[in-house]
Every structure is written in structure tokens, then in C-alpha cells.
Amino acid sequence: MHIFVLIVLTFILVVDALPGKLFVFDNEKTLSPSLDRDFPDPSIVKDSDGKWYAFATTDGRRNVQVATAPAARGPWTLLENVDALPDTGRWTDGQNTWAPDVRRLADGSFVLYYSGQLANDSARHCVGVATSAAAVGPYRPRDRPLACPLAAGGAIDPAGFVDGPSGRRYVVYKVDGNSLGRGGACNNGVQPIVPTPLLLQELAADGVAALGDPVQLLDRVDADGPLVEAPNLVRTAGGAYVLLFSSGCWSTPDYKINYAIAWDVMGPYARSDVPLLQTGDFGLTAPGGATSVDDAAGTVVFHADCEQGRCMFQARVAVVGENVIVSR
Ligand SMILES: *[C@@H]1O[C@H](CO)[C@@H](O)[C@H](O)[C@H]1NC(C)=O
């Protein structure tokens, strides 16, 4: 009994002594893909009948790939003949649809946020929104993008979020500044480096209508390399807001998952000293695009390099104070 208390106390003291530090459990073990195919920027959601669906960036044949599983942890099967977003909206050219994020609304219907390539400028993406009664889709897009800051480079990588205590709904996304960059890694390795801020936009309960102006949560610093992107917000039971994001260039082993913590949804967000997941952890290469799971708290899905391209992986995360702990 006394030894047990001592161990717990030691653990808490160690955690307290290292604010912002990361603890990776079982890091000597490797993680295997939960779906063995190119399935980048994944998000997963539970349907009302208990089935789970996963969504990913286009594979060239489908705008939004879909897989299904009987449980959050799988096993996952690709739905070969399904495109969750057959029509990407009049404002898009229907090409290069990226980073879909699906969330269930309070009325039981579903909303899909995505990055659509502009009909009037194929060098730019903006954030679109589409809705469906069923999790699997097909999602019906709105005629206009939800966020389209073209002078700053457009917008990509949306993720929905509901703030538990207030019940307010939001979407976080990345201003795609590097689409205006001067070349180099991810088109932003050459001076002057362009900002790639992560913004928070409040939404109405329908998950579609924007309320007021977006607020900036974080921007890249030199240690991030060319960019920060793929923001995702989650609130812990302890009341901390954890902003997951990726930095580095996705096509290099420098790509990694980072996080920052705040005690108010608007910030300020304090960046962790160390990444959440980086190349080498669990045998992964270039992990990125981490997304929280609303009906499986403590689970994140993300992608990392694999033989087929970028496969979907899953891990468990726990937050202790200001520390985020990752395990298999
Ligand atoms: C191009 O399309 C976007 C998205 O619909 C729109 O915001 C923008 O004003 C358009 N630009 C021009 C020059 O029409």
C-alpha cells in the first residue's frame, strides 16, 4: 500500500516538474497502420447505429475516401464504391479535395468540413462545408466556402469542435500561406517566409453558419520549418484545451505532430517543448494530421508514411496536468 502511494506520488511529482513534457509509453514497440492503404488526413466518427466511419483525402478516384469498422479501434475496411462527397460544390473545380473532417451535430445529422480547390484558381484551396443525414454520406456541399482568406493564401485542414461547458461549436483551420511562398520545402523554405496561422471560427448550432470573425490561436515559428497545419482542438476532462497541429513539410521525415495547451478556448496557447509524435516514435515516419475522436475520448487518428503512401494509424493520448501522454 505504502509503496503504491509512493509510486503514484513520484509519478505526479515527475509530471508536475516537467510542464509541457511528453511521455511516450511503449515507445520501443511499433505501431501498425489501422488501414493498410494511402488514407491521409483521416478523421473518424460513430454513426447512430454504432458503426464507425473513417474519411480521408482524395485518392484520385474519390473526392473523400470512406472506410468502416464495427468499433473505433477497427478493424477498418475501405468502402470501394463510396465517395462521401461526390459533389465538392460550385466554388471548387472538383480536384485535389483534402483533409475531410466529420462531426455529429446535436440533431443527429453530420457535417463534413473539407479543403476544396478553387474553380477560379487551381493554385488555391478554401474550406468548405457539407451536410448529410447519414454518417457515410453523400454529403451535400454549400454553394460558397466557409472560410476563404485568399489574400493570405486560402485555407485548408478544417476540424470541428464543440466546447463542452458552453456547448459552442467551432471549426479550426490553417491559413494556407505557403501557397503564396517563394519555393523550397512545401513552397515556404525561401525568405521571406509567409505566415501559416491556425484560426478558430465560431459556428452556429447547425455547424455551417459562421458567427463573427475568426481568432488566431497560433502561427509557425522557425523551429516549425515551413509551416504549421492540420489543427485539431480537444477539451480534456480537466478543462484544458489541447490544440494538436502538424509542423515541418509533410513529404519529409521532419513532419511531426505537436501540441499547445490553453485554459481558455481563445488562448493563449502554450506550445509544448517536445513533439507529441515524431519520426522514430513507435517506428513511425513523418506522423501528421492528428484528429481527436468525439465518441472515443483519448483516441487520436493520424497518418504516417507506409509502403502505400500515407496510412491511417491510431494511438491513445491522456492529458495529465499540462502533459500529454501517448500510448498504443
Ligand atoms: C474565386 O472564388 C472564391 C471562392 O468562391 C471567391 O471567394 C473569390 O472571390 C473568387 N475570385 C474571383 C476573382 O472571382
pLDDT digits (tens, 9 = 90+) for 199-208: 999 999 999 9
Question: Could you tell me the sign of the dihedral formed by the alpha carbons of 112, 114, 117, 119, in that order?
Answer: positive
pLDDT of residue 236: 87
Element (H, E) at 20: none
Q: Which of 90, 118, 146 has most ligand 1 atoms within 8 Å of its beta carbon, as the pocket-test mutant?
A: 118
Residue with more model confidence, 279 or 5: 279
Query: In this model, does residue 10 exceed pLDDT 50?
Result: no
For the sheet with 241-247, list strands across it: 228-235, 241-247, 256-262, 270-271
**249 with 183: CB under 8 angstroms?**
no
Q: What are phi and psi of 150, to 5 degrees?
A: -65, -35
What is the per-residue DSSP string for 282-310? GG-SS-EEEEE-TTSTTEEEEEEEETTEE
Query: Which residues, including other chains, have CB under 8 Å from residue 287's CB and lie 6 or more apart?
Result: 255, 256, 257, 277, 278, 279, 281, 302, 303, 304, 313
> Is the N-terminal amide bond of 145 cis, ω within 30° of 0?
no
Per DSSP, the residues of 21-80 read --EETTTTSPP--SB-S---S-EEEE-TTS-EEEEES--SS-SSEEEEESSTT---EE-T
Q: How much is the pLDDT for 12?
A: 34
Atom of ligand 1 nearest to the CA of 150: 7
pLDDT tens, position by position, 239-284: 889 999 999 999 999 999 999 999 999 999 999 988 999 999 999 9
Residues 123-175: pLDDT tens digits?
A: 999 999 999 999 999 999 999 999 999 999 999 999 999 998 899 999 999 99
Q: How far is the CA of 120 from the centre of ligand 1 (A)?
A: 6
- In the reported structure, the alpha carbon of residue 142 is separated from the centroid of ligand 1 by a whole-number distance in angstroms of 15
Q: Are the beta carbons of 175 and 181 closer than 8 angstroms?
A: no
Q: What is the pLDDT of residue 125?
A: 98
Cis peptide before 138, with omega less than 30 degrees from 0? yes
Distance 95 CA to ligand 1 centre (A): 16
Q: Is residue 28 very low, low, confident or very high in pLDDT (cuts 50, 70, 90)?
A: low
Cell for 111?
A: 457535417
Taking CA atoms only, the protein residue closest to ligand 1 atom 7 is 148
* Pocket, ligand 1, Cβ cutoff 6 A: 91, 118, 120, 126, 144-145, 148
pLDDT bucket at 92, cuts 50 / 70 / 90: very high
Tell me if the bond preceding 268 is cis, omega within 30° of 0. yes
Residue pLDDT, tens place only, 170-191: 999 999 999 999 999 999 999 9
For the chain, the average pLDDT equals 91
Q: How confident is the model at residue 23 (pLDDT cuts 50, 70, 90)?
A: low
Q: How many whole angstroms from 118 Cα to the centroid of ligand 1? A: 8
Residue nearest to atom 5 of ligand 1 (CA): 91
If one residue of 115, 143, 146, 150 were mutated to test the ligand 1 pocket, choosing by the most ligand atoms within 8 A of its CB, it would be 150
Q: Give the tens place of pLDDT for each residue, 39-86.
A: 999 999 999 999 999 999 999 999 999 999 999 999 999 999 999 999
**Do residues 243 and 259 touch, judged by C-beta distance below 8 A?**
yes
Distance 148 CA to ligand 1 centre (A): 8
Minimal-distance CA residue to ligand 1 atom 12: 120
